[in-house]
């Protein structure tokens, strides 16, 4: 689209007094000059975000949704009378002027005033491989505060990513009280919000809520483990009261930030909804010195006209290509030592686990917690964190020995660290008490017997980087690091930040990213799992540096149906670590068949987390078989398009499938989560995403006798999508996996 030229110079030369002193008579008020109206359209293949600049230079969001062929037609729209509050719909509403809603930006200036009114000063655009970047510049017409709204449009994936750059161009410091990454106004008759709450071992639980006229806020104030309560993501179904996988308009959003966040949804009395997303302003009035600027994290948006399924697929495709570290690459299957050994192991225990892992066809062994600490050995969760030397009495042969044994068995080797934390019972806590997050003169509370290290302090950043770096040196060829973070921040504060405690939460997260950036510069190939008591740090900020997440500490396959379903709405399966553990399950006490556990874990990155020697011969044979078959189709899990076929929330079944981009192959997962009386005819799943005219051969995996009458036969895509696929899943925890191959 051609942008209409704009007389930027006119605005640039406006006088801009910095501070209005009470005693002097006020300068005559300045008014923003008139500008030519214009439309800016940020476009992807199927979507448009349309911004309208009115004659006063105010920038409004007029449309986010299906692509509009002639965006210039928005110039025809009258924007209301001069006396009327014309601020509803501003693209980045600031506290001040006529705007009285929830602000994207609230600034407190040195003179104590809070008024900011942003006016357009220019627009530019550039292409960056697969992505076009549009930058709108705005400036307050009195102070020297300016804001850039930066929109990255990923054409093929229908993703628009927005962030904001706020510059204090004045001579006095100021404080940012609110500094959202984005504000998005949308208009519909109904707004059905889908979002994710959670708790330990109950991550990414889905909740639907019809929005009223009040303010809905989803926030985290936890500092670390920011996503274990709520996830910084949502889906919004427009003009409907029902959630649909396949029909209707859905906007999905996710904030790329691993610290405190805030998403708010404010419906004005005209029915319009403003979605604000960004860092939580909680205890974070961020100081901006004269000349300093602040860049907000990215807010990722997609729009689908075909229900939630398409919105998720857009996010997944974009994430694999542009966001997740090495996204879409197949990560190895593994045996993790945690639930099989906890803290109780010797070198011998680990070697035998490796033998079994290799024997079952797994590809990596991960040594979890418990390998370090000498003066304060890590034999439980009450000591040792911070002292990252190998425990020489427990593992006298060292990590090098273990890693080379794994390698000799053809296994990769991974190891666990929790570098942001310290047990009071550790040498580190004694040597560097000033590094602990604390509020002067107050009790430093423990969580899981540990304290948090203050990553807003550059010395702590160096230390945390050093832990990772030294762990990598423990053996040549450490292939995988599981980075854990097992508590939230409470009674927060930093000895380093002095009187600037307001910076703490923001700079903790920036400190974490600084460390991760350094790690990736030095170790581009090591696999990193982002764990935080399970899914406590599941966001697109951490995934820039991490290959995968530990989806949940809950390994019960039934609970996993809900957790993995919820996770899949926003995050791609390639990041979803999913392990087969023992029964009764250690978290829930639930007992499920081994096949059901495998079929659930195989819908993500498959791993095992149990003591293999406790498996019976039959169980072991089934495990070998499931692992073998997974390796044949797992590229579909890592790179295919996800279609959710049945929701665990809707009834008794859960179903999903992954389809290759060229639609030549697919894998279908089906599960019964409850007993269904008289289920003689089987459960119908309408497959999706296949080529209707192609013929697919359907093969059930890992069984001698199939639960579907069509097993081994050939069917057209339209037949399979039309309701003829009805495997028998007659009992609670019956499950079946089918591979489809086009001929
Ligand atoms: C956390 C993780 C687990 C395990 C333990 C070890 O709870 O989520 O997977 O690593 O820590 O202490």
Residue nearest to atom 6 of ligand 1 (CA): 369
Strand 230-238, strand 191-199: pairing: antiparallel
Q: For residue 601, give the nearest of 629, 572, 632, 580 by alpha carbon.
A: 580
pLDDT at 170 over 90: yes
Element (H, E) at 278: strand 272-279
Strand 451-452, strand 421-422: pairing: antiparallel
Tokens, residue 334: 């593994």
pLDDT at 25 over 90: no
Query: Pocket of ligand 1, candidates 486, 554, 607: which has the most ligand atoms within 8 Å of its Cβ, to mutate?
Result: 486
How does residue 423 score in pLDDT terms, banded at 50, 70 and 90? very high
Strand 548-550, strand 576-581: pairing: parallel
Instruction: Spot the catalytic one: 158, 387, 454, 484.
Output: 484
To which residue do tokens 């500094």 refer?
179
Element (H, E) at 276: strand 272-279
Q: For residue 485, give the nearest of 506, 524, 455 by alpha carbon.
A: 455
Ligand 1 atom with least separation from CA of 534 = 8
Query: Pocket of ligand 1, candidates 338, 417, 483, 534: which has the most ligand atoms within 8 Å of its Cβ, to mutate?
Result: 338
How does residue 76 score in pLDDT terms, banded at 50, 70 and 90? confident
At 72 the pLDDT is: 94
Q: How far apart are CA 506 and CA 510, in angstroms?
A: 6
Q: Which amino acids bring their CB within 6 angstroms of ligand 1?
A: 338, 368-369, 381, 416, 484, 486, 531, 533-534, 550, 553
Average pLDDT over every residue of 126-140: 95
Q: How large a percentage of the chain has pLDDT more than 70?
A: 94
Lowest mean pLDDT among 6-20, 214-228, 249-263: 6-20
Residue nearest to atom 2 of ligand 1 (CA): 533
At 130 the pLDDT is: 83
Tokens, residue 231: 């996830």
pLDDT at 22 over 70: no
pLDDT at 424 over 50: yes
Higher pLDDT, 741 or 7: 741
Residue nearest to atom 1 of ligand 1 (CA): 533
Ligand 1 atom with least separation from CA of 532 = 8
pLDDT at 502 over 70: yes
pLDDT at 359 over 60: yes
At 316 the pLDDT is: 98
How does residue 676 score in pLDDT terms, banded at 50, 70 and 90? confident
pLDDT at 4 over 80: no
At 677 the pLDDT is: 77
pLDDT at 278 over 70: yes
How does residue 17 score in pLDDT terms, banded at 50, 70 and 90? very low
Higher pLDDT, 87 or 140: 140
Tokens, residue 156: 């093929």
Condensed to tens digits (0 to 9), the pLDDT of residues 579-628 reads: 999 999 999 999 999 999 999 999 999 999 999 999 999 999 999 999 99
How does residue 26 score in pLDDT terms, banded at 50, 70 and 90? low
Cα distances (Å, whole numbers) of residue 367 to 201, 351, 417, 432? 21, 11, 10, 27
pLDDT at 8 over 70: no
How far apart are the CA of 649 and the centre of ligand 1, in A? 27
At 634 the pLDDT is: 98
Q: How far apart are CA 304 and CA 80, in angstroms?
A: 30
Instruction: Spot the catalytic one: 553, 556, 599, 641.
Output: 553
Query: Does residue 553 have an active-site annotation?
Result: yes
How far apart are the CA of 199 and the centre of ligand 1, in A? 15
How does residue 20 score in pLDDT terms, banded at 50, 70 and 90? very low
DSSP state of 742: E
Paired strand residues for 266? 215, 274
Average pLDDT over every residue of 270-283: 96
Condensed to tens digits (0 to 9), the pLDDT of residues 646-675 reads: 999 998 999 999 999 999 999 999 999 998
> Cis (ω within 30 of 0) for the bond into 584?
yes
Query: Pocket of ligand 1, candidates 198, 484, 551: which has the most ligand atoms within 8 Å of its Cβ, to mutate?
Result: 484
At 88 the pLDDT is: 75
Element (H, E) at 559: helix 557-570
Quickly list DSSP for 622-683.
Answer: HHHHHHHHHHHHHHHHHHSEEEEEE-TTTSSEEEEEEE-TTSSEEEEEEEE-S--TT--S--
């Amino acid at each position: 689209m051609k942008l209409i030229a704009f007389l930027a110079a006119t605005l640039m030369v406006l006088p801009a007094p910095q501070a209005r002193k009470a005693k002097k008579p006020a300068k005559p008020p300045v008014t923003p000059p008139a500008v030519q109206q214009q439309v800016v359209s940020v476009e992807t293949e199927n979507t448009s975000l349309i911004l309208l600049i009115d004659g006063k230079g105010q920038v409004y969001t007029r449309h986010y949704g299906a692509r509009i062929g002639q965006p210039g037609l928005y110039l025809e729209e009258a924007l209301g009378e001069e006396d009327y509050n014309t601020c509803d719909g501003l693209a980045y509403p600031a506290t001040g002027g006529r705007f009285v809603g929830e602000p994207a930006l609230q600034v407190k200036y040195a003179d104590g005033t809070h008024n900011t009114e942003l006016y357009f000063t220019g627009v530019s655009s550039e292409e960056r491989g697969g992505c076009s970047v549009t930058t709108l510049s705005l400036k307050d017409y009195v102070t020297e505060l300016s804001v850039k709204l930066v929109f990255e449009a990923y054409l093929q994936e229908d993703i628009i990513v927005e962030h904001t750059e706020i510059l204090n161009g004045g001579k006095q410091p100021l404080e940012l009280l609110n500094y959202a990454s984005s504000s998005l106004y949308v208009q519909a008759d109904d707004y059905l919000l889908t979002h994710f709450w959670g708790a330990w071992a109950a991550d990414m639980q889905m909740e639907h809520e019809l929005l009223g006229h009040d303010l809905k806020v989803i926030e985290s104030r936890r500092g670390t483990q920011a996503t274990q309560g709520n996830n910084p993501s949502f889906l919004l179904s427009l003009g409907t009261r029902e959630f649909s996988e396949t029909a209707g308009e859905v906007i999905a959003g996710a904030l790329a930030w691993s610290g405190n966040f805030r998403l708010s949804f404010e419906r004005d009395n005209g029915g319009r909804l403003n979605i604000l997303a960004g860092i939580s302003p909680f205890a974070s009035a961020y100081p901006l010195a004269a000349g300093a600027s602040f860049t907000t994290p990215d807010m990722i948006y997609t729009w689908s006209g075909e229900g939630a399924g398409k919105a998720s697929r857009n996010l997944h495709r974009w994430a694999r290509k542009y966001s997740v570290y090495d996204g879409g690459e197949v990560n190895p299957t593994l045996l993790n030592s945690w639930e099989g050994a906890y803290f109780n192991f010797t070198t011998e225990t680990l070697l035998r686990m490796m033998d079994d892992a290799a024997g079952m066809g797994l590809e990596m062994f991960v040594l979890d917690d418990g390998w370090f600490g000498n003066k304060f050995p890590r034999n439980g969760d009450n000591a040792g964190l911070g002292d990252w030397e190998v425990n020489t009495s427990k593992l006298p042969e060292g990590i090098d020995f273990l890693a080379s044994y794994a390698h000799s068995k053809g296994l990769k080797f991974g190891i666990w660290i929790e570098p942001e934390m310290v047990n009071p019972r550790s040498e580190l806590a004694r040597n560097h008490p000033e590094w602990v997050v604390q509020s002067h003169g107050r009790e430093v509370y423990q969580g899981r017997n540990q304290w948090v290290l203050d990553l807003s302090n550059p010395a702590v950043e160096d230390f945390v980087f050093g832990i990772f770096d030294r762990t990598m040196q423990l053996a040549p060829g450490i292939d995988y690091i599981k980075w854990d973070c097992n508590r939230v921040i409470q009674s927060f504060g930093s000895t380093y930040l002095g009187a600037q405690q307001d910076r703490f939460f923001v700079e903790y997260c920036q400190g974490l990213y600084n460390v991760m950036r350094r790690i990736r510069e030095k170790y581009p190939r090591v696999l990193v799992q982002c764990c935080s008591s399970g899914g406590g740090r599941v966001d697109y900020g951490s995934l820039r540096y991490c290959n995968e997440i530990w989806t949940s500490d809950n390994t019960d396959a039934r609970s996993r149906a809900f957790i993995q379903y919820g996770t899949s709405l926003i995050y791609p399966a390639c990041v979803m670590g999913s392990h087969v553990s023992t029964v009764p399950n250690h978290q829930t006490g639930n007992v499920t068949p081994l096949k059901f556990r495998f079929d659930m874990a195989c819908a993500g990155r498959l791993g095992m987390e149990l003591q293999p020697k406790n498996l019976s011969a039959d169980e072991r044979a089934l495990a070998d078989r499931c692992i073998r078959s997974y390796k044949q189709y797992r590229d579909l899990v890592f790179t295919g398009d996800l279609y959710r076929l049945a929701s665990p929330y809707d009834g008794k079944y859960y179903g999903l499938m992954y389809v290759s981009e060229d639609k030549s192959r697919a894998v279908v997962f089906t599960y019964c989560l409850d007993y269904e009386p008289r289920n003689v005819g089987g459960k119908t799943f309408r497959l999706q995403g296949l080529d209707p005219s192609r013929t697919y051969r359907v093969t059930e995996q890992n069984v001698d006798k199939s639960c579907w009458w069509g097993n081994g036969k050939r069917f057209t895509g339209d037949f399979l999508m039309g309701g003829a696929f009805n495997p028998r899943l007659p009992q609670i925890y019956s499950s079946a996996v089918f591979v489809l191959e086009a001929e």
